[in-house]
């Protein structure tokens, strides 16, 4: 989504008394003037950039569901298990800095300007993904299933690489590990625990590793 602008236009119309313009749409008003039934002119009152973080609110105020300017792309589920650095590597381009398709830098800049975060851009994206996780999680198939996070490394990943995270609903640790192995054949399981937060799971894994060293 590129930069969105908010432009307020004032329209003045002279028309016959019997022609009520109450509730008329912009398109129909244009036709009314173009057809010669009335005469009018428009004037731009103001035009300003809308910060990314305010676009949805402005759309809702106009009666839209907030998705008008969306690109329709779903979040890549792999992103939910990535660290800030892994996200940066994935989305940076040869031309320079990249950004996440769901969380543009304009939104981050707005949050920084409002004093809502002191995180760097990719750390902020990782946090946004954590908050979005529940929206993308499917309903539990039965009451016996619980949320699990499985840390794993791809088959060709160096042994010291930061592990990725796989999330699922499972009956047990074995069931969770099995789902991860089915999703990423040849991967090596590093750590598994109940929960929904890859960040918390990584902290638990790192703490356990430190205690063992």
Same-domain check for residues 174 and 150: yes
Residue 194 near residue 161 (C-beta atoms within 8 A)? no
- Give dist(CA 91, CA 171) in Å, integer: 34
* Model confidence, pTM: 0.38
81 within a domain of the structure (yes/no): yes
Instruction: Mark which of 104, 133, 162 sits at the end of a domain.
Output: 133
pLDDT tens per residue, range 10-19: 999 999 888 8
153: CB partners within 8 A, 6+ apart? 159, 161, 163, 164, 187, 188, 190
pLDDT tens per residue, range 78-134: 787 788 888 888 888 888 888 888 888 888 998 888 888 888 999 999 888 887 776
Number of domains in the chain: 3
- Give dist(CA 126, CA 139) in Å, integer: 23
Range of the domain at 103: 77-133
Please report the pLDDT score of residue 140 as a whole number: 44
Residue 98 near residue 125 (C-beta atoms within 8 A)? no
68 within a domain of the structure (yes/no): no
């Amino acid at each position: 989504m590129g930069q969105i602008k908010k432009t307020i236009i004032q329209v003045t119309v002279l028309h016959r008394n019997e022609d009520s313009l109450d509730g008329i749409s912009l398109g129909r008003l244009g036709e009314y003037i173009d057809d010669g039934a009335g005469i009018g002119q428009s004037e731009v009152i103001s035009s300003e950039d809308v910060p990314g973080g305010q676009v949805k609110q402005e759309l809702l105020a106009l009666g839209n569901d907030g998705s008008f300017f969306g690109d329709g792309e779903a979040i890549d589920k792999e992103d939910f298990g990535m660290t800030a650095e892994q996200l940066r590597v994935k989305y940076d381009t040869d031309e320079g800095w990249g950004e996440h398709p769901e969380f543009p830098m304009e939104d981050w800049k707005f949050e920084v300007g409002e004093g809502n975060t002191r995180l760097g851009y990719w750390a902020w994206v990782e946090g946004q993904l954590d908050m979005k996780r529940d929206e993308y999680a499917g309903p539990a198939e039965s009451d016996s299933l619980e949320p699990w996070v499985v840390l794993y490394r791809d088959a060709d990943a160096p042994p010291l690489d930061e592990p990725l995270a796989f999330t699922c609903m499972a009956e047990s640790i074995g069931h969770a590990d099995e789902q991860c192995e089915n999703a990423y054949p040849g991967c090596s399981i590093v750590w598994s625990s109940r929960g929904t937060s890859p960040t918390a799971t990584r902290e638990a894994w790192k703490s356990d590793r430190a205690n063992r060293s």
